[in-house]
A and B are shown apart, each in its own frame.
Chain A
Amino acid sequence: MASFHGSKINPDRFHRSQLKFYFILIPMAVLMMLPIVYIFSHALKPIDELFAYPPRFFVQKPTLQNFQDLVNNSNATGVPMSRYLFNSIVVTIIVVFFTVVFSAMAGYALSKKQFKLKKTIFEINTLALMFVPAAVTIPRYLLIDEVGLLNTFFAHIFPLLAMPVGLFLVKQFIDQIPDELIEAALIDGATDFQIFRKIIIPLVKPAIATISILAFQAVWNNAETSTLFVDDENLKTFAFFMSTLAVDAGSGNTVAGQGMAAAASLIMFVPNLIIFIFMQSKVMNTMAHSGIK
């Protein structure tokens, strides 16, 4: 646990004066963890427990039956599961990377650069945040059709690249970086790109980690583009594959589907959790350094 010591945000010893904080934090923390426990326990439930009323929180007779069903069912469909998985991974990597780069660059410009329309652009962005995503489905479809992206790999990628939430968060974080730091770098002869790479990026790592988690989630769980923009079975994503399982498993047999749906949602969730655990150390560690005295 070297990284924990590096950041020095944990006191070394437990002290009685800390008790009052635990008194509040621990119950809250338990509450926060519950859904995760629930997801795992739900996926392991046999059929009779899935439909038990009142629903039980913990599984009583854990079974892997749901996962077995899932695997057997996957073999029955034409396209191998690995193909969906591959598509998802490629799309996810590309989108997360470019979303972070674009948002950080735009956030830097909007926060520290002077140019016309700067305020307007940010306000438009904030407004765009508020629009119900479902309402733009058809215009978006028409657009993708018009540009000729329908039924291509890029249909998964392009619509997600400019993420308004990402820009919003990054800009707020960059606002907190003191201007003196950038001026100092300028005097030392740094170019704009160097300032961006060597100063801005390291200082807003918490924000970057946050938006990469958000972007990852948006892409990884996105079954919509596969349903709407892509007809070719070979180009659809894992999220789409998972969402179909629960519906048409056993040809309309929703009772059997429930178990598989529970298992599928666990499988979909685990990468989120892994990325989160991986990223959150970056989120929490860098916040300790503020840069200027």
Chain B
Amino acid sequence: MSTLSTSSSSKPLWARYKPAIHFRNAAEEFDACKLGFWLFLTTEVLLFGGIFCAYFIFRTLYPDAWKEGSGLLDWRFGAGNTVVLLLSSYTMAVSIYCIQKDQQFRAQLNLIATLFFGALFLYIKLAYEYIPKWSVGKRPGSMFDYPFAESAHLPLWWSVYYCGTAIHAAHVIIGMILIARVLWRTTKRHYGPTHYTMVEITGLYWHLVDLIWIFLFPLLYLIH
């Protein structure tokens, strides 16, 4: 949907954008893209729904393992990462606003900040959580090798923890790739007040990534 006319080359790319021919106008195309993406976000929520469902079933079956497991997580790293992701959602939202106002430089700065926060989230996750835990044997299922486990079903807790957070982390990485693409295209003036579909959609995706963490954080770290 990036049909660009070659005439009137003095205008920036976003001003020369023409919607795909099967749409009647750009507004209809924008609406269609947003509707499609909201549907896609629904599928993402349902995908994580499976993980949450497994979490609640095993929490009901093995409350001891779940109590012990969440006690082994440090809430400060979880909370820190929550703050990092919330900040990144803020900078993402600001960058969409800036694009709508044609403030290209500020939009780029905010996109870079979003990327930075995304990377910071992954760094905290990896350096302070995954690696230290994995190395002392707090691993999922058959790989579990933690000598001080009290509950017999602690490996299952780690299975749910790793599946949930790793699939979430994969979404963070995909989101960062999308943001990097938007950032690169911003430098070419692809987006502006009359055409910012991809920026908006990337923002929606990033907010979903944030939102899923907002649910994962209390379920895994806070409630015992």
Partners in one complex: no
